[in-house]
Amino acid sequence: MKLFLDFIPCKECNTMMNELCSPEMIFADPKKRSDESAKFLRHLTYNHNEVVQAVLDNLPKQKRDQEFDFFK
């Protein structure tokens, strides 16, 4: 799934995105690439509420499981 986000990246975002696109990172081992990607996603999650809200708005909604009568 691809998700295009429209947000203004901070200086830290720009630094991390440049590092992720560098030749050293592109040819790095999968573990290192995964760790750096996770670090960037954590940064987005904790520091950019608009990104989190955009992701939540675009994810498919799950139907609620059938509720039993005693929950109503």
* pLDDT at 38 (0 to 100): 93
Q: How many Å apart are CA 48 and CA 2, to the nearest integer? A: 19
Residue 19 forms part of a structural domain: yes
Q: What is the residue-wise DSSP string for the chain?
A: ----------HHHHHHHHHHTSHHHHTS-HHHHHHHHHHHHHHHHHH-HHHHHHHHHHSPPPPPPPPPGGG-
pLDDT-based confidence at residue 57 (cuts at 50, 70, 90): confident
Q: Which residues form the domain of 15?
A: 11-57
Query: How many domains, in total, are found in the chain?
Result: 1
Residue 3 forms part of a structural domain: no
Q: What percent of the chain has pLDDT over 90?
A: 47
Is the pLDDT at 50 greater than 70? The verdict is yes
Is the pLDDT at 71 greater than 60? The verdict is no
pLDDT-based confidence at residue 62 (cuts at 50, 70, 90): low
